[in-house]
Structure 1
Amino acid sequence: MSPVRTPQTPQSPVPPAAQSGATAHYLRPGRLDRVFGALVGRLARRGVSLMGTAELSVIGRSSGEWRSIPVNPLAFEGADYLVSARGHSQWVRNMRAAGGGRLTLGRKVRHFTAVELTDAEKPAVLRTYLERWGWEVGRFFDGVTATATDEELLAAAPRHPVFRITGER
């Protein structure tokens, strides 16, 4: 069976770090993280969400096949967001190339398009994300918490890509 592709949309601008060739921040998952992620992803496919998790699938930029990972979608001020706590990961790079993907929770599949936020747009979203999931992802934010100043969140913003997602709910 060949992979199903979502419609392509115009890509968001490439972040300055990617344009300049600078090394992008990324914290690679350890073995325990991969095992736990696989379990959470399997549960999401079966309709069980742990604290709001869902399975994100994005078309691979090289393989053309769906690549999946569990994520914590964030509803904030009437919009939905995906935050990469670990940094400029493979799913982030694939999302930039594909311009969208799908979120799965059981039989519910939401196809969406994605636009990457600028660093200046991220602090309020990052604060809300850390308020909700800081206990889980705080270790990836180098001491920045939900109670951090706007300046501290702005300083952390380049290390944590954020996408606003739109599409069917």
Structure 2
Amino acid sequence: MTDRTYLKPPWMQRHVGNRLAPLFGRSMVSRLSVRGRRSGRWLTVPVAVLEHEGERYLVSYRGLSDWALNLRAAPECRVTSRGRTEELVAEEVPEAERPPLMVAYREKYGSMPTVSQVLTALPDPADHPVFRLRARA
């Protein structure tokens, strides 16, 4: 296991909240599918896609999550929102470019359960992998 900054979500969020989030937050929550870095199987998690200055981003607000590690290993992914699935490529944003994205993420999603609390506990933008989404060529 790697040494990483990550705040694991509580059991209830992982097993109940993550399954229900796409049903209740359709306008805010999308589904990210990415290949497992060890298994190669498609894994799906709920995410909030940040739209900022004409670009779309995925922010791993809890720190270096498994889905972020998987995207680093295999950047091809699928994002499903409102019943529409896109084939995309995720490109990690350098740490120096993350601060304004983290501010925008907090402004847009800080009212979601746990987001503001986690971002307060992990205030350094370097602790949050951020990926720019691009159409697959």
TM-score interval w.r.t. the shorter chain?
0.7 to 0.9
Structure 1 residue runs of 4+, over 3 Å off? 48-51
Instruction: Give 1:162's aligned residue.
Output: 130
Contact 2:99–2:125 (Cα < 8 Å) also in 1: yes
Q: Deviations over 1:44-84 (max 9, x none)?
A: xxxx7434110001000111111111000011011100000
Task: Tell me how large the CA RMSD over aligned residues is.
Answer: 1.8
Q: Which blocks of at least 5 consecutive residues in structure 2 are unaligned?
A: none
Identity fraction in percent: 36
Contact 2:27–2:82 (Cα < 8 Å) also in 1: no
Relative to total residues, which structure has the larger strand share, 1 or 2?
2
Identify which of 91, 95, 102 aligns with 2:71. Answer: 95
Contact 2:98–2:126 (Cα < 8 Å) also in 1: no
Is 1:119 paired with 2:119? no
Change (3 A) 1:143 1:97: closer
Is 1:81 paired with 2:57? yes
Instruction: Give 1:129's aligned residue.
Output: 105
Q: Which blocks of at least 5 consecutive residues in structure 1 are unaligned?
A: 1-20, 145-152
TM-score, length-scaled by structure 2: 0.88
* Number of aligned positions between the proteins: 132
